[in-house]
Amino acid sequence: MIHSIELIDFLAHHDTKLDFSNDATVFVGQNGAGKSSIIDAITFSLFGAHTRVLGSKRSNKSLIRRGANKALVKIEFSANGKNFKAIRQIDAKGTLTAQFLEKNGDEYLPIAEGERTQFGESMTKEVEKVLGMSYEKMKIASIVQQGELNAIIKAKPKEFKELLNTIIGIDRLDVAVESMKEVLKEFRKDIQTKHGVDDTQIELLENRMNEFQNEITGSRPMMKKLEEEKKVRETNIEKIQQEVEKDSVKEIQLRELEDQKEELVSYAKDAIKKIQREVMEEERKVNECKGCFSIVSKRGEIESRLFKLEEELQIITKELVEFEKKKIRFEEQGEFANRLELKDGKCPVCDSKVDHLNPLFQKEHLEEEIKTLNQKISQTKEKQVELENSIEKINDELRDAENADIKLKTHNISTETELEKIAATIKEKIKKIKHIPITINSGQLLEASSIDAHAKMKYEKILQIEKTTSGFNQEEFSEKKKNLIYNRDRLRQIDQEFGATTNRIENAEKQIEKNKVSLNELYKVRKYITKLEDIQKNVYSIDGPVAKSLRSWALEIISEKASEYLEKLNTKIQRISLSQKTRDVNITCYARSTMLELESLSGGEQVSIALSLRLGMAHLLGSSNLNFMILDEPTTHLDSERRKSLVGVLSQLASIRGKEASMQFIIISHDAEIFEDSSVENIYNFESGINGTLVNPL
């Protein structure tokens, strides 16, 4: 039984603490005020699980209130006579911390912390042990979602059957069926991997074996025919081979003959080009060296004239420098003379009486001297330029003489006689190639052979080969080779066909033997899978014998327990009977021996039946040791009469006492008015606030 729960920055709640009554606790308020958050707080604190989904994933971070950096939930409850406390916290990084404690005296001692499954530690597992159920089982046994209570009494027979299957878990047989299908699929996959086929392809394998046998039967005559043709081809090849070998020597010589002709023509062309290059080179040498000897012979006289002119230029240059220096001195004295003038017959320096100044300090005298020097400087410069031009001309003559000497030394010619010999050699070479055509072909081999001894030797070898190969017919020889190639190719083809046929027979025989083994195993596989399919059909099918038996047993238990609850509720209905037909589950009500139609019952009686059935289903599943039930918006789709009846029924159920502890109900509803005149005392009103949900007792 839940005693209290505390929420800090959890979903819409900033700081909420709730105390629960032992019989019924009601949460009222508008939609979105945070009432249903209490369900997530209970399941999260106990199992670390909740119903909130972010996108396509169930995210724990979505539990943190907007603006906060962590969320904490704390629940205190009792089970099996002991008191416990469960605390879970999550931060913005998604880090979870958890602690499960048991009360011992006045303090709580830890039982488990966190979910360190790698160390074999799990708080959730310890909670499941204490409560006797998991999160999934509690959702079915103790939490009635919105509209589910009304669905039990309003559902059509077929829909009730599907709902019942879901609640008591029979629908999981479909999972078993799918698992069985997956097992069969994987089994067939293994068989397919091992044999290449599975039990569904036995007939195909049998047809293949017949095809292999037909292939063996049809291939043997072909092998005999190939053996006979092979002998004929081998005889033809031996005969043609001998003839081809004789003619091959002549063919090789003929190829050599053409090569020799091409070599002679090529050699002659290269030799002519070489001679032509030599002639051009020697002509260039002669042309460059002509006149060089006369120029070189004047070199000494040119150097002597150049020496005299350079000496004269040095003298003129010195004179010009002296004239320039004197001019500078006179110009300096002229500036001083401008300041030295007699005043009243006295010296401007010492103030003594003098008759006249020294001519060197007289302005007129200095100007005359500078004028004379300017004339001399001009004449000297003209003479200097004349000498420099003469020296430049003589230098040009000297460079020509030096270049002529370099040319002679470069061509290694020291006398005019040597130059004359080179000119004579040129004439001989031109005369030698003059009678040979510019473009030589294979019909002008005789002319080409006259170039030198090597060309003559090649020409004689050509004549010898022509004599040896006389009478050879290239077309006949080519035809013989084609015939030889054709017979050899056909012989190889025969060998390939013979080998392929042999391989086909051997492979067919191997496949037949292999398939015999596979077929024997596949016959066993088919028998085994047939049995598995029978098991699937009869045991795991949701409408099979086993499912029907389980459903009948479950319906009997639910009927029995629901009838017990109805008896305690003091209704005129004494018994409920659930029975199944082929595809439906029917609800039958009895008052003593009279059968009552569900539609004829009052609103309160229908609600009593719905709750009794739901409690009977919870009992079937093995209700939690918390001995509580959450009803989320149970008044949805109920009229006003049934809403008031629901409150009355819940009050009676919560106050029932006997051997078992009283049932604790947690009711979430936006219909606060239906609890005004009820015996329920523990009612909380939920309102949305700026800083989170506000909870106040009514």
DSSP-derived secondary structure for 380-436: HHHHHHHHHHHHHHHHHHHHHHHHHHHHHHHTT--SHHHHHHHHHHHHHHHHHHTTS
What 8-state DSSP symbol labels residue 114?
A: S
Distance CA 475, CA 481 (A): 10
**Mean pLDDT, residues 376-401:** 87
- In 3D space, the residue among 151, 107, 114, 84 whose CA is nearest the CA of residue 638 turns out to be 151
Q: Which residues pair with 54 in a beta bridge?
A: 57
Q: Are 108 and 33 in contact (CB under 8 A)?
A: no
Q: Which residues pair with 625 in a beta bridge?
A: none
Number of Cβ atoms within 10 Å of the Cβ of 265: 19
Query: What is the per-residue pLDDT across 141-167, written as a single tens digit (0 to 9) for each?
Result: 788 887 677 666 666 767 667 766 766
Distance CA 542, CA 554 (A): 14
Number of Cβ atoms within 10 Å of the Cβ of 55: 7
Q: Are 538 and 180 in contact (CB under 8 A)?
A: no
Cβ contacts of 177 within 8 Å, gap of 6 or more: 536, 540, 541, 542
Distance CA 42, CA 626 (A): 12
pLDDT of residue 350: 56
Q: Alpha carbon 571 to chain centroid distance?
A: 71
Given a cut of 90, is residue 42 above it in pLDDT? Answer: yes
As a whole-number percent, the residues of the chain with pLDDT over 70 amount to: 86
Query: What is the per-residue pLDDT across 543-599, written as a single tens digit (0 to 9) for each?
Result: 777 778 877 888 888 888 888 877 776 678 888 888 877 667 788 888 877 888 877
Average pLDDT, the chain: 81
Distance CA 46, CA 76 (A): 10
Given a cut of 50, is residue 55 above it in pLDDT? Answer: no
| Residue 680: its H or E element | none
Q: Are 377 and 320 in contact (CB under 8 A)?
A: yes
Architecture of the domain whose range is 1-142+671-698: 3-Layer(aba) Sandwich (3.40)
By CB atoms closer than 10 A (0-12, 13-18, 19+), residue 619 is: middle
Given a cut of 70, is residue 120 above it in pLDDT? Answer: no
Q: Which residues pair with 641 in a beta bridge?
A: none
Distance CA 630, CA 144 (A): 6
Query: What is the per-residue pLDDT across 318-339, written as a single tens digit (0 to 9) for each?
Result: 988 888 888 888 877 777 666 6
Distance CA 433, CA 271 (A): 10
Distance CA 280, CA 667 (A): 124
All structural domains of the chain with their residue ranges: 1-142+671-698, 178-204+475-540, 292-424
Angle of helix 416-433 versus helix 202-289 axis, rounded to 10: 130
**pTM reported for the whole predicted model:** 0.48
